[in-house]
Amino acid sequence: MEACGSAHYWGRRFEAQGMRVSLLPPHYVRAYVRRNKTDSADATALLEAARASDIVPVRMKSVEQQGLQGLHRLRSCWRATCTARINTLRGLCKELGVIAPLHSRGVAELRRRLAEDDVGIPEYLRFTLQRVLGEIDELEERLLEVEAQLAEIAKHSTTCQRLQTIPGVGLIVSTAFTGAVGDIAAFRSARHFASWLGLTPREYSSGNIRQSVNVATDISGCCSCMARVPFCIPVQQRFVPGGRWIHCEHGAYASETSVVSRRRRWPSRTNWPAFYGPPGGTNETSSLGRRAW
């Protein structure tokens, strides 16, 4: 089957009936569709794509993984809605001469100014703007509730606890990775893990000319937060095993190629052993973790 909407649910249903299910990436299957799109052409394309040895099937997600990803998607949706409400509120007030700073400080300032009688905003508009403030408060409460649920899940997950020992990785990143990755044994090495994450430069090459362009932007959903983790670490902690950090002393990048290379290796080489435990162990998972180095 194509790994499209509800494919993981039906895959679990078919596996429960004893069938062997293979989920294929839709954008790879599309290349095998000839001429017009029909059910017959789609079925033929799926068979051709299933025979291709270089197409890696998508690992099926469990119910717990999809539930965890659902919490993250709801959180992202509510956070975007809250930001939109704040920007709308600031913009309308700015048109009437009421200026407020960004983020939560601006909301507190607008709340104080809208409570004044001589603020210079018509009464009918001020009443509606106060309703917008109520929406912002409600959205922030929802965000806190979701984060409390994520914290409770992370408390009982050894994988999340190991990931949070990495500098720059907290509650959001650890739970997002646990929900998106699942069984990291699906990746043969840390390089494959980084490639799946999307931290790889696009290539535009021909013959003997090889050219790497900007970093790929197809970073998977809630895993995109991991791409920004190296830039959220305090300066004194911006070092990784095996080399210096990508920032120079003055905060400038050495080169775009160096940044891309090190950003590609950093998340994989820190998260890969964290999933499998300490590299110095003697069990099988520890030996898999040593591959990252």
Banded model confidence at residue 9, pLDDT cuts 50, 70, 90: very high
Banded model confidence at residue 10, pLDDT cuts 50, 70, 90: very high
pTM for the full predicted model: 0.73
pLDDT digits (tens, 9 = 90+) for 215-260: 655 545 545 555 555 444 444 444 444 444 444 443 443 334 444 4
pLDDT, mean of residues 69-83: 93
250: its two tokens: 């003055």
pLDDT higher than 60, residue 67: yes
Q: What is the mean pLDDT of the chain?
A: 77
